[in-house]
């Protein structure tokens, strides 16, 4: 029986050519798998037919949008995940859900190898391969671009020679990856880090300077899950989609940064994540109201580590799972509403209310109704400062 390779298929030039390229170089049959994580573009059936037309023996397509929102975007939201305090892990969280579908297809179709379209210098090869090996240690991985010398020029040549039903002329100046959680743009003139992004870099967001009037939105959360916008119940996917539209119109969520890749180099990345940034902003402020101080302080470290792990391709690792239960526990009381104004590139919280708030007006107020016993303060201050005081006394004594 012929060996089978499951290929992560996007419908674009590189992976369309990869079907035949892999078949030629390895002798295996190729099963194409395309996963919809909200990247837009062509419909899944069109993609499926192209895969078959390009030589795939089987082609699977999956609408994983709700799965992606519920099981990947939501944990990232609850973790407050921003790699290097800025990047909401757009591509990083989409790889594991694609991996799940690839592995399922490999098991279903009896494939022993999984192929993906990544190069050898990015993070995504790691996310794919470590994910696959974690879910199915018996599978091996292959990357035609990295391992089978499939360059862009050879891909165009191959497509033309084999008359593949895929456009080879349109050359995008950028390398792009997108899904419902956001959009990542790199390469091209952005590789000169002194260059500013031009308008054509963006697609999910309008120019902040040309946005319409302010758009006020009330986001309701229950235990850390966004459940309503302006009082209308939503699924997580709907919340992201609606805020992608509304915050995107206002130019919210553009990010331009130099970032540390796992493979040891720095790269320049431009992201758009209007819905993600709007939700993260609202969620963070609701946590400010509902999380106890020590928990909130420690959670910042958890958030950073979670982000690094997921960025670094370790979604399916034991530590990631243990951090997930920590985060889940922290969300128990993150219930309430946040009012936010979206405008001209900014998502600004203007109000918050919660039945589970730890903000206590009677303790906080300086007006009548103040219930804070200020006579306790002196004792607190003196004992709080005692270690510093003793150390300073020591320093002065031993210096003199």
- Alpha-carbon distance of 72 to 35, in angstroms, equals 14
CB of 387 to a copy of itself, least distance (A): 5
Binder among 199, 368, 376, 400 for a copy of itself (CB under 8 A): 376
Q: What are the backbone dihedrals phi and psi of residue 353, each rounded to the nearest 5 degrees, phi first?
A: -145, 150
**123 labelled binding-site residue:** yes
Helices and strands per DSSP (H, E), number in the chain: 15, 14
Specify whether 175 is catalytic. yes
Task: Give the footprint of a copy of itself on residues 79-98 (CB under 8 A).
Answer: 84-85
CB of 165 to a copy of itself, least distance (A): 26
HSE-CB of 148 using CA atoms within 13 angstroms: 23
Q: Token pair of 210, please?
A: 């040309």
Q: What are the backbone dihedrals phi and psi of residue 359, each rounded to the nearest 5 degrees, phi first?
A: -75, 125
- Alpha-carbon distance of 9 to 98, in angstroms, equals 10
Q: Do the Cβ atoms of 31 and 55 come closer than 8 Å?
A: no
For a copy of itself, which stretch binds (CB under 8 A), given 50-58, 65-73, 106-114, 253-261?
Answer: 253-261
**259 labelled binding-site residue:** yes
> Quick one: 165 or 351, whose CB is closer to a copy of itself?
351
- The answer to the question of residue 301 lying near a copy of itself (CB under 8 A) is yes
> Quick one: 54 or 114, whose CB is closer to a copy of itself?
114
**307 labelled binding-site residue:** no
- The answer to the question of residue 231 lying near a copy of itself (CB under 8 A) is no
Specify whether 95 is catalytic. yes
- The answer to the question of residue 198 lying near a copy of itself (CB under 8 A) is no
Specify whether 354 is catalytic. no
CB of 47 to a copy of itself, least distance (A): 25
- The answer to the question of residue 146 lying near a copy of itself (CB under 8 A) is yes
**Which DSSP string corresponds to 207-274?**
-GGG--S-EEEEEEEETTEEEEETTEE--HHHHHHHHHHHHHHTTTTEEEEEEE-TTS-EEEEEEE-H
Specify whether 312 is catalytic. no
Binder among 200, 329, 368, 400 for a copy of itself (CB under 8 A): 329
> Quick one: 248 or 345, whose CB is closer to a copy of itself?
345
- Alpha-carbon distance of 116 to 120, in angstroms, equals 11
Q: What are the backbone dihedrals phi and psi of residue 7, each rounded to the nearest 5 degrees, phi first?
A: -115, 130
Binder among 69, 106, 280, 291 for a copy of itself (CB under 8 A): 291
Give 24-65 as a 3 state SS string: HHHCCEEEEEEEECCCCCCCHHHHHHHHHHCCCCEEEEEECH
Report helix, strand and coil shares of the chain as percent, to nearest 5.
45, 20, 35
**131 labelled binding-site residue:** no
- Positive or negative CA dihedral for 260, 262, 267, 268? negative
Catalytic residue among 175, 203, 371, 392: 175
15 CB neighbour count, 10 Å cutoff: 28
CB of 290 to a copy of itself, least distance (A): 8
Angle ∠(190,194,197) on CA atoms, nearest 5: 45
CB of 52 to a copy of itself, least distance (A): 30
> Quick one: 3 or 292, whose CB is closer to a copy of itself?
292
Catalytic residue among 36, 50, 91, 124: 124
Task: Give the footprint of a copy of itself on residues 166-195 (CB under 8 A).
Answer: 175, 187, 191-195
> Quick one: 165 or 212, whose CB is closer to a copy of itself?
212
**15 labelled binding-site residue:** yes
Binding-site sequence positions for ATP: 8-16, 117
Binding-site sequence positions for L-citrulline: 87, 123, 127, 175, 259, 271
Binding-site sequence positions: 8-16, 87, 117, 119, 123-124, 127, 175, 259, 271
| Positions marked catalytic | 14, 95, 124, 175
């Amino acid at each position: 029986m012929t060996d089978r390779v499951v290929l992560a298929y996007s419908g674009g030039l590189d992976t369309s050519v990869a079907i035949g390229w892999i078949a030629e170089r390895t002798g295996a049959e190729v099963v194409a798998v395309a996963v919809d994580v909200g990247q837009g573009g062509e419909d899944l059936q069109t993609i499926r037919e192209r895969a078959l037309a390009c030589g795939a023996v089987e082609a699977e397509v999956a609408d994983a949008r709700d799965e992606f929102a519920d099981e990947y975007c939501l944990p990232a939201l609850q973790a407050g995940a921003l790699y290097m305090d800025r990047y909401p892990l757009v591509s990083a969280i989409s790889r594991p859900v694609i991996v799940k579908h690839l592995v399922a297809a490999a098991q279903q179709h009896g494939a022993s190898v999984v192929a993906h379209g990544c190069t050898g210098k990015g993070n995504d090869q790691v996310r794919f391969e470590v994910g696959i090996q974690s879910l199915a240690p018996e599978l091996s991985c292959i990357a035609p671009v990295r391992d089978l010398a499939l360059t862009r020029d050879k891909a165009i040549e191959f497509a033309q020679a084999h008359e593949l039903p895929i456009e080879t002329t349109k050359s995008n100046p950028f390398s792009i990856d997108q899904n419902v959680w956001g959009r990542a743009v790199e390469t091209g003139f952005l590789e000169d880090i002194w260059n500013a992004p031009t308008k054509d870099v963006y697609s999910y967001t309008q120019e902040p300077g040309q946005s319409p009037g302010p758009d006020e939105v009330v986001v309701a959360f229950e235990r850390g899950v966004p459940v309503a916008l302006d009082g209308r119940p939503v699924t997580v996917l709907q919340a992201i989609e609606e805020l992608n539209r509304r915050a995107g119109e206002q130019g919210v969520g553009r990010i331009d940064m130099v970032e540390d890749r796992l493979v040891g180099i720095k790269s320049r990345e431009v992201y758009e994540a209007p819905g993600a940034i709007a939700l993260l902003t609202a969620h963070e402020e609701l946590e400010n109201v509902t999380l106890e101080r020590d928990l909130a302080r420690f959670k910042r470290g958890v958030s950073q580590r979670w982000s690094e792990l997921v960025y670094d391709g370790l979604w399916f690792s034991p530590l990631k799972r243990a951090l997930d239960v920590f985060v889940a526990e922290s969300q128990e009381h993150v219930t309430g509403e946040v009012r936010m104004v979206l405008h001209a590139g900014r998502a600004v919280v203007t109000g918050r209310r919660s039945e589970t708030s730890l903000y206590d007006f009677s303790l906080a107020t300086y007006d009548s109704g103040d219930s804070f016993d200020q006579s306790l303060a002196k004792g607190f201050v003196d004992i709080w400062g005692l270690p510093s005081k003793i150390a300073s006394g020591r320093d002065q004594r031993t210096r003199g």
